[in-house]
Amino acid sequence: MELDGDEHRLSRAEARRLRDSLGDALTQRREFLYTAGTHREDGSYVVERRGADSAGHSKVFERYDALERLYGRLPDAFTAEAVGRTGLTGGRRHLVVRHLAEHPAFDCELVSRQPLTVRKRDRPAEGDEEGD
């Protein structure tokens, strides 16, 4: 391999270690209280119950932005039933609702456990600046 005019050679073992390190850097898992989210090398995003070892406790989104779009389409207060209208079924609906409440990228909070209900926090209207 040539980098900035300098030639660098790696052994097969070094190349494998580098490949594995790159794979680890591209795959990122964040754990929360009840859920976990994993960004996979292929660009997909997996929401799963923390500590679960079966696919029945996970939902794979083609891309992370698919989860963001789902969140954007949900009403200001939503339950698993509202998430279910998007095609999610069974316990995966509750899993996604809880994950949205736990993940800091989504500005919402859990407001009720029965039924599991999340409310989006108030945000300034589009075009408004805080402090104006």
- Between strands 35-39 and 45-49, the pairing is antiparallel
Q: Using the predicted structure, report yes or no on whether residue 128 has a pLDDT greater than 60.
A: no
% of the chain beyond a pLDDT of 90? 59
Whole-angstrom Cα distance, residue 32 to residue 97? 13
Which pLDDT score is estimated for 67? Answer: 97
Q: Cβ contacts of residue 46 below 8 Å, gap of 6+?
A: 37, 38, 40, 58, 59, 60, 61
Whole-model pTM: value is: 0.74
Structural domains of the chain, with CATH = 23-120 (3.30.67)
**Cβ neighbours of 34 (radius 10 Å):** 14
**Cβ neighbours of 2 (radius 10 Å):** 7
